[in-house]
Amino acid sequence: MTETPRSFAGTPGGLRTAEPDLLTEMLKAVRLNGAVFLSARLRAPFGVIDPRTYDQRTPMARLRRVSILHLIVSGECQFESAGETFNVSAGDLIFLGMPGEYSFRSDASAKIVQANETVRPGPIEGVWMVDYGGDGAELRMVCGFVESSELLFAPLFRALPPTLIERTSTDRVGHLIASTVREIVTLVDGAIPGTQAVLGRLMELLFIEMLRRQASLLPDGSQRGFAALTDPVVARALQLLHAEPQHRWTIDQIASRAGTSRTVLTDRFKVLLGRPPIDYLAGWRIQLAAERLRAGSESVPRIAASVGYESEAAFNRAFKRITGLTPGNWRAGASSTQ
């Protein structure tokens, strides 16, 4: 996505927002790739487990390092992930940040089968179908994913809980998220050729709104990564680093401008973001540079200077240290996947 939509959470009468400008800037530098990959009808009794390994001939074989969203359209069931069991029903949105094995059951006694035994190609290219189970109550579900290699450089986005259940009927923001879900379901059910690109954008929008919603719902004193956006010390420092990433920042300068000591600043960064300020700045610079390398033919030295590196050699070393690739290899790899 090249533009970040306005946050639903920031609308009049909506939820408290957490430095929306800062969050928007972070999201602008993260290129997302979303898609719907499954439309399912499961009838009780049923039990389906996703083992996180697939036949390489199926589209799901690639879904190993992505965030997955399951949209419950109708019905109800038990959802199990990471040793936890959740009761989910129509209107619920299940988010798995870094999914492992998970399953859906009509009840605890239902027999479990492997997910890849139940799928078949559907009328929309890339969207597989499931029609499985007995003759009981039906569960209708649509599944999608969002992936981005740049998430490696943005610790805020790894701060979401491993399993998140959004009850989209509980408040105003939830209803707006639910409207996006309904649009996705309408397109899937219509099976109109050429809708995959639209479905992908809707999945990306849904993911962004979930990020913003999580930031807005943080309780005071939270120690998760999104709390950095409301922490008075870290948020001020992040605003500085994001406004002038090319500046030759020192820890003393950042602390002084943020109105704190270098010790407090470093401690707060480590607690909320898992790294000290200068390390965060290095990752953010490379995040910005990676996007510019992907976006066009701008020269490497020019990009290096724009994000604060005095020499191409220093930039190349930092880029490879953080990404594992040289800038040239990154650009070539990005071009081959577009």
Which H or E element spans position 171? none
Both structure tokens of 331: 């650009």
In this predicted structure, the answer to whether residue 64 has a pLDDT above a threshold of 80 is no
Q: Of the candidates 238, 293, 309, 33, which has an alpha carbon nearest to the alpha carbon of residue 151? A: 33
Q: Give whichever of 8-12, 64-68, 180-184, 306-310 has the largest mean pLDDT.
A: 306-310
How large is the C-alpha radius of gyration of the chain?
Answer: 22
Strands (E), the chain: 33-43, 47-50, 67-74, 76-81, 84-89, 92-96, 102-105, 113-114, 119-121, 128-133, 138-147, 163-167
For 89, how many CA atoms within 13 A lie in the half-sphere containing its CB? Answer: 5
Residues 111-135 pLDDT 10s: 999 988 899 988 888 888 999 999 9
pLDDT band for position 172 (50/70/90)? low
- Cβ proximity of 133 and 205 under 8 Å: no
More confident residue, 113 or 7: 113
Both structure tokens of 304: 């290096």
Domains in the chain with CATH codes: 8-216 (2.60.120.280), 231-337 (1.10.10.60)
What CA–CA distances, in Å, run from 235 to 38, 265, 272, 330? Answer: 39, 10, 11, 30
Residues 176-228 pLDDT 10s: 677 787 888 888 888 777 788 888 888 888 888 877 777 776 665 555 667 78
Plot region of 19 (φ>0 → left; ψ -120 to 50 → alpha; else → beta): left
Give the residue carrying structure tokens 């009808």.
41
Looking at residue 277, the DSSP 8-state letter turns out to be H
As a whole number, mean pLDDT of residues 19-27 equals 64
Both structure tokens of 335: 């071009």
Is the pTM here over 0.75, yes or no? no
Q: Of the candidates 189, 177, 183, 34, which has an alpha carbon nearest to the alpha carbon of residue 92? A: 177
Query: What's the pLDDT score for residue 3?
Result: 36
Distance CA 277, CA 266 (A): 6
3-state DSSP call for residue 142? Answer: strand
Distance CA 244, CA 23 (A): 16
Query: What's the pLDDT score for residue 58?
Result: 46
- Cβ proximity of 187 and 198 under 8 Å: yes
Distance CA 142, CA 174 (A): 18
Number of neighbouring beta carbons within 10 Å of residue 47:
22
